[in-house]
A and B are shown apart, each in its own frame.
Chain A
Amino acid sequence: MSSQIHHIHQQLMNKDISCTALVQEKLDLLKQNTNNTVNTLLDTLALDLAAKVDAKIANGETIGLLEGIPFGIKDVYMVQGTYTTASSDLLKNYKSAYTATAIQKLLDAGAIPLVKENCDSFGHGSSSENTIFGAVKNAINPDLVGGGSSGGSAVNVAKDYTVFSIGGDTGGSVRQPAGYNNVYGLKPTYGRISRYGLMAYASSTDCVGPIAKSIEDIRIVLNIMSGKDTKDQTTYASADISQEVISSSENIKTVGYFKNFIETDAIDADIKSDFLATIEKIKAKGIEVKALDFFESETLVSTYYTLAMAETASNLSRLDGTNYGNRIEGDNLKETYSVTRSENFSEESKRRIVGGNQVLSQGFSDEIYLKGLNLRDNISENFEKDFEEVDIIISPVTPSTPPKIGDSLKDPHAMYLSDAYTVGFSLGQLPTLTVPQGTATGLQITAAKHNDELVLKFANFLKDTI
């Protein structure tokens, strides 16, 4: 699909539609939707902003490319004055005091926020069922999960309720729901976009990521949100990616894939055969394809979850009902903390917090946490060696098609293993894009750190190739 942002921008400029009518139409769709994608509608704010855009156009003023474009925000981003619940009981009445840097940049560019979107609570999940707002239903088949944790965001884009949405990706939470709902979802290089105002899950892999229906829209939104931010010391300055540069793939000579992702019984037979067929089409275009060695899926998943749980146990320790959140009073301070946390965290969040505290406790930390960090280093080194040999790595997004609603909650370990193909790239902090092509749940395109441009370039090439 071509760029919706450019198309709507032209329609607004030509006065074919008014911004107010556009925003109202999307708000109505969101309000009536039965996929459980909405935590809070930002209707008053959105309509006020739309009226201002219409007034500018009526005055003959020019508007920016993103001005008047309606978008959605995963409910883990701070937007001043709006509820930011993380889909949790603990924060169901929590109001953001400030606005996340990435979202502020979009607001400054004139984009219009419509909705805070349903997701797994605190990002803890791969199905968007771990939420107090009801399981998110898949855009293509509502009996299936919407994917997670940014499920509401991916479904809203797929259903055209938002033009683009901003998800958050810690271990695959943008890429997997994008794959499950046949849209594009980018996890940029870690640090390219500021995490300030994104509720922390695992700080060393948390990334802000756009979800949209075209590569061009991903490019536009990525450029706006990127950049150094003094409020997030892990950010770095990056140059804008131009439309022209990513339209040609001439310097992509070699593509790799991990053979152990494909040569396993854990992968769905159709996903495997479709992936291999894609490899053949790439070869037919004269690109060399190399099969690469990589870590076992179990090692990747275990390393990721061990470190992510340690980080989330630490990050969520602040949520004790003292300064904000749904405090439940106990007999004394410690009792208040523990009743508040016991009653307000979901089973999955508690499982991860407890796991994280196990990891960090004396006696365990050397054997598990430090070894996990060591494995992460080994994984990163492996990537560095791979990118000396290949320009791009492609892989399936998931080993299987989306599960039925209800199935993931029954078997948490199976849910963790379903993240096998996404978590490695998170640990490596690499730019990875899901494209809705190649297999039933799409393909991931990965390049070396800071080379987000090459990822988009190869996506354009694939769009025309398969």
Chain B
Amino acid sequence: MSKIMTVDVLSSIKGAQPSEAVNKLFEVIKKANTTNNNAFNNHNNAVSLNNLRDDVVIDSSATEKQIIIENFPKEKNGYLVVSKVIEE
């Protein structure tokens, strides 16, 4: 398999091509001047490690489980049916 992945493969969208409208945006970024080269300074959005939620399993309600099953695209005896995987 080729090491270069095209955007249609990356996006799982058949025949997808880069668009002119979006490429125009990228050109602006390429030409823009920035005042420093450090992309990860104090404005990142990382969450503080001192404030994480409890690491516990919370069981979903019966209603929630029922709706999740209702949303299965294909279902057999209460199980989700998925396509078989063929090795390449």
Contacts and interface: CB of A to CB of B under 8 A. Distances in A.
B70 to A, nearest CB: 6
A80 interface: yes
Contact of B63 (A81, A317, A375): A81
Contact of A233 (B11, B51, B63, B82): B51
A100 to B, nearest CB: 14
Interface stretch (A162-170, A212-220, A243-251, A349-357): A349-357
A354 B39 contact: no
Contacts, number: 172
Interface string B1-45: 000010110111111111111101110111010111111111101
Given A323-B80, A368-B29, A377-B39, A355 B19 contact: yes
A98 B64 CA distance: 6
Nearest to A319: B12
Contacts of A341: 11-13
Contact of B14 (A97, A338, A351, A367): A338
Given A339-B14, A371-B29, A351 B22 contact: yes
A258 interface: no
Name A's interface SS. Answer: helix
B24 A413 contact: yes
A351 B72 CA distance: 27
Interface residues of B, number: 55
Given A329-B83, A338-B13, A353-B11, A97 B71 contact: yes
A97 B29 contact: no
B13 A342 contact: yes
B16 A80 contact: no
Contacts of B39: 370-371, 373-374, 377
B57 interface: no
Contacts of A351: 19, 21-22
A350 B13 contact: yes
A445 to B, nearest CB: 23
B78 interface: no
B53 A233 contact: yes
A327 B83 CA distance: 11
A372 B43 CA distance: 13
A370 B44 CA distance: 12
B73 A358 contact: no
Contact of B73 (A317, A325, A350, A378): A325
Contacts of A333: 82-86
Given A309-B22, A351-B22, A354-B17, A338 B7 contact: no
Contacts of B22: 305, 309, 351-352, 354-355, 358
Interface of B: 5, 7-8, 10-22, 24-26, 28-30, 32, 34-43, 45, 47, 51-54, 60, 63-64, 67-68, 70-74, 80, 82-86
Given A95-B67, A353-B16, 18 more contacts: A97-B64, A233-B52, A301-B28, A313-B11, A324-B72, A325-B73, A333-B86, A341-B13, A351-B21, A355-B25, A359-B26, A367-B30, A371-B39, A378-B35, A411-B21, A412-B21, A413-B20, A413-B25
14 contacts: A95-B67, A233-B52, A325-B71, A335-B83, A338-B13, A351-B21, A354-B17, A355-B18, A359-B26, A364-B26, A371-B32, A374-B37, A378-B35, A413-B24
